[in-house]
Amino acid sequence: MIHEDGVQIKTEKSNITTMMEFILLGFSYSPNLQWILFGIFLVLYLTILMCNSVIVLITRIDPTLQTPMYFFLNHFSILEICYVTVTIPRMLTDLLSQKGHISFFTCAAQMCLVLLFGGLECLLLAVMAYHRYVAICNPLHYGLIMSPQVCVQLVTASWVSGVPVVIGQTWQVFSLPFCGSTTINHFFCDLPPVFKLACGDTFVNEIAVYVVAVVFIMVPFLLIVVSYGKIISNILKLRSARGRAKAFSTCSSHLTVVVLFYGTASTTYLQPKPNQSEETGKLISLFYTVLIPTLNPIIYTLRNKDITVALRKLLSKLST
């Protein structure tokens, strides 16, 4: 009797374990490319860590970079490190093991962090656009508007504001019943592929996703568009061609990052579900989770004289 009960309990636990686990398909359909993909993603990940860590270091120790612009860039680089660390190490592990098993709670935690850091990136890009607007369009009051206290408040608000929304949305998604296939055709737990595994009507949940996407993607984007509309209008009024070129150059890096990130993220989270191809979605996700974070520090360093000068000073100190 005890033995039978034990077997019954063990069977129940086994069933619960099976139901509480997903399988990330990732890139398992191309096992011949396993080591090539592993090497590429490992190099990209190490590049992101190294480049962003260097930006964080020099913006903290170089006295000439103790300004609001580089304060925001410092936090943006920290965010990039956090953002890629949520997805790439897991992807590298799955490429090695070729299994892709991920627990229900780990999947939920990964989705929560991806949404949190992605939303935070949108907010920080909007804050950086507002900073550019104040610097170019309202230079006389720049020191008052962009005081250290205000900068800290803007960054803190960006970090904190999305937390309750993202936690609530993640809980809403993972409270849905899941049945049938447990295979997620993706390399991390993202909203669209997880929704496809849910049973029943997910209309209300999808509407909630679109609402949050509009708030955290489109609203900051509109703020960026308005800021740069005023910036460009103000720059065109400058009589000096050299002054216009300098003003445009200070904005070009940020604009490039905005276009790259928003172009890919909005395609994933604002595109209607029937139009989403799984393979296309996976490719687009690679852009905004791996490729763009790799390009961001390069864009900011190569197009920024202050950063390159500070980097040369740091390298000269280390070499002596």
Q: What is the mean pLDDT of residues 3-24?
A: 51
Predicted pLDDT of residue 7 = 37
Residue 116's pLDDT band, with cuts at 50, 70 and 90, is very high
pLDDT band of 272, cuts 50, 70, 90: low
Instruction: Tell me the CATH architecture of domain 22-305.
Output: Up-down Bundle (1.20)
pLDDT of 274 over the 60 cut: no
The better pLDDT of the pair 27, 274 is held by: 27
Q: Is the pLDDT of residue 304 over 80?
A: no
Looking at residue 80, what is its pLDDT?
Answer: 94
Could you tell me the pLDDT band of residue 285, with boundaries at 50, 70 and 90?
confident
Q: Please state, in angstroms and rounded to a whole number, the distance separating the CA atoms of residues 129 and 144.
A: 17
Q: Please enumerate in sequence order all residues whose Cβ is within 8 A of that of 154, keeping only pairs 6 or more positions apart, or say none.
A: 127, 130
**pLDDT at residue 10 above 90?**
no
Which of 2-16, 150-164, 219-233, 260-274 shows the lowest per-residue confidence on average (mean pLDDT)?
Answer: 2-16
Whether residue 218 is predicted with pLDDT greater than 50 in this model: the reply is yes
What average pLDDT does range 70-95 have in this prediction? 94
pLDDT of residue 177: 87
pLDDT at 122 over 70: yes
Beta bridge partners of 22: 102
20 versus 13: the higher-pLDDT residue is 20
Is residue 9 over pLDDT 50?
A: no
Instruction: Give yes or no for residue 82 having a pLDDT over 90.
Output: yes
Name the E strands within the chain: 21-24, 101-103, 183-184
Single pTM value for the model: 0.86
Cβ partners under 8 Å of residue 104, min gap 6: 19, 20, 21, 22, 174
Q: Find out whether 301 and 51 touch, Cβ atoms under 8 Å.
A: yes
Residues 315 and 317: their CA atoms lie apart, in Å, by 5
| Mean of all residue pLDDT scores within the chain | 84
